[in-house]
């Protein structure tokens, strides 16, 4: 499958498994797994205009080649691993201790002297922290 088709199928799978499983007449269990096999899912996707070419092998290829780990397959069923707007409660193995926590940034920010960087307050790392309420401050020394 070429990259264009793989991206197209990945976007459709993300939409269905995260936001609108009813588009294909499926439902998700409490952990987010589709209630149909990958083969049945491919059959239903083929009924959509522009997706007549999809097979279960194509779905598995999307899962295997996805660099962000968007999907998981277990017992011939598939789920999105994150980003749901429908109610699911995926079970993941509990991490006992995280040795390091990395914060994503830009190349430009790497050039900022450390004395100007703020420390992320611990409460900002808590689940459900509301970033909208944070105050924006000028960096010290900037005019």
pLDDT digit string (tens) for 61-78? 999 999 999 999 999 999
Structural domain tally of the chain? 1
Beta-strand ranges (E) seen in 22-84 are: 71-74, 77-80
Is the residue at 105 inside a domain?
no
Which residues is 34 bridged to in the sheet? 28
| 12 assigned to some structural domain | yes
- Is 69 inside a domain boundary? yes
**Does any domain span residue 119?**
no
pLDDT along the chain (143 residues), means of 10: 96 97 95 96 97 97 95 95 89 72 64 65 63 42 43
pTM score of the predicted model: 0.66
Would residue 58 count as lying in a domain? yes
- Bridge partners (DSSP) listed for residue 28: 34
Query: What confidence tens digit (pLDDT) does each residue in 100-122 have?
Result: 666 666 666 666 666 666 666 66
> Does residue 25 lie in a domain region?
yes
CB 79 within 8 A of CB 72: yes
Domain-embedded: residue 126: no
9: Cβ–Cβ under 8 A, 6 or more apart, which residues?
1, 45, 51, 54, 58, 59, 62
Q: Look up the CATH number of the domain holding residue 61.
A: 1.10.10.970
Q: How many residues does the chain have?
A: 143
């Amino acid at each position: 499958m070429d990259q264009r088709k793989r991206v197209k199928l990945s976007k459709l799978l993300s939409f269905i498994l995260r936001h609108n499983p009813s588009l294909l007449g499926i439902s998700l269990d409490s952990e987010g797994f589709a209630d149909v096999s990958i083969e049945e899912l491919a059959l239903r996707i083929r009924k959509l205009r522009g997706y007549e070419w999809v097979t279960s092998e194509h779905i598995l290829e999307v899962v295997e080649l996805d660099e962000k780990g968007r999907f998981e397959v277990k017992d011939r069923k598939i789920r999105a691993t994150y980003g749901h707007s429908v109610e699911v409660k995926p079970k993941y193995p509990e991490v006992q201790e995280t040795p390091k926590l990395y914060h994503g940034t830009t190349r430009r920010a790497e050039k900022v002297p450390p004395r100007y960087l703020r420390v992320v307050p611990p409460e900002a790392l808590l689940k459900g922290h509301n970033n909208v309420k944070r105050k924006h401050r000028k960096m010290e020394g900037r005019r």
